[in-house]
Amino acid sequence: MLLPPAAIKGSLAGVVVVALVRRSLLLRLRKVVAKFMTTGKVIRFDEVRGYGFVTPDTGADDVFLHVNDLTFDKRLLTPGTRVQFVAAEGDRGLKATQVQIIEQGPVGPTGRTVKPATATAEGRSEDDELCDILPSAELRAEITEALVTSIPTLTATQIVGARECVLRIAELHGWTED
């Protein structure tokens, strides 16, 4: 026998009915959202500016990705990271929302390729044997060219500061001849 709505209101039965209805609606909503979820790979994400792009597995146009739509540490979004997301229409085109990481990409949080080092019998890495040792002037020129080419908005002061920092590191590790 069904209870009249007045008898349910405010009773334990009423609370149970409301909870069951909410749960049913939530499950239906999750199924609908799952139909619109798509997967793709992060092709670029700028931690400083807080945005990047994902290439959907469907081959569709790249989707804008903003840090405000993340529920995890932005440093985990590296090129090659596979994500699941909902593509929603934004002010300037498609925007990824409800972003979730499926599989971490081959590039670590520092932006360097993650590769296990293989040590030799002497305890040195095999990569030590393959490293080019450059004269400081040549390395300085290569660093300058790389900075100018990859980040054209850097000022001369910023380029000199970054270059000198890298040169100091290279000297400490013995990567330069002089």
* β-bridge mates for residue 65, sequence order: 52, 96
Amino acid occupying residue 85 = F
In a domain, 111, yes or no: no
Amino acid letter for position 123: G
The answer on 88 and 66 residing in a single domain is yes
Give the three-class secondary structure for 100.
Answer: strand
Task: Tokens 């409800």: give the residue.
Answer: 98
Residue 7 has pLDDT above 60, yes or no: no
Residue 143 lies in a domain: yes
Asked whether residue 17 is assigned to any structural domain, the reply reads yes
Full domain range(s) for residue 61: 36-103
Residue 115 lies in a domain: no
Same domain, 63 and 43: yes
In this structure, are 25 and 41 located in the same domain?
Answer: no
Determine the distance from the C-alpha atom of residue 122 to the mean position of all C-alpha atoms in its chain, rounded to a whole number: 37
Question: How many structural domains is the chain composed of?
Answer: 3
Same domain for 78 and 21: no
pLDDT of residue 6: 59
Q: Is residue 121 in some structural domain?
A: no
Residue 12 lies inside a defined structural domain of this protein: yes
pTM exceeds 0.85, yes or no: no
Q: Across the strands, what pairs with 89?
A: 94
Whether residue 42 sits in one domain with residue 68: yes
Calculate mean pLDDT across residues 128-150: 75
For residue 118, pLDDT beyond 50: no
Crossing angle of the two packed helices 136-150 and 156-173, in degrees rounded to 10: 140
**Residue 107 has what DSSP assignment?**
B
Q: Which residues is 84 bridged to in the sheet?
A: 39, 100
| Distant-in-sequence, close-in-space partners of 15: CB < 8 Å, separation ≥ 6 | none
* pLDDT of the residue at 161: 86
Instruction: Give yes or no: residues 40 and 99 share one domain.
Output: yes
| CATH (domain of 57) | 2.40.50.140
Residue 118 forms part of a structural domain: no
Query: Does residue 120 fall inside a structural domain?
Result: no
What is the pLDDT at residue 59? 86
28 and 45 in a single domain? The answer is: no
Please say whether the beta carbons of 15 and 6 come within 8 A. Answer: no
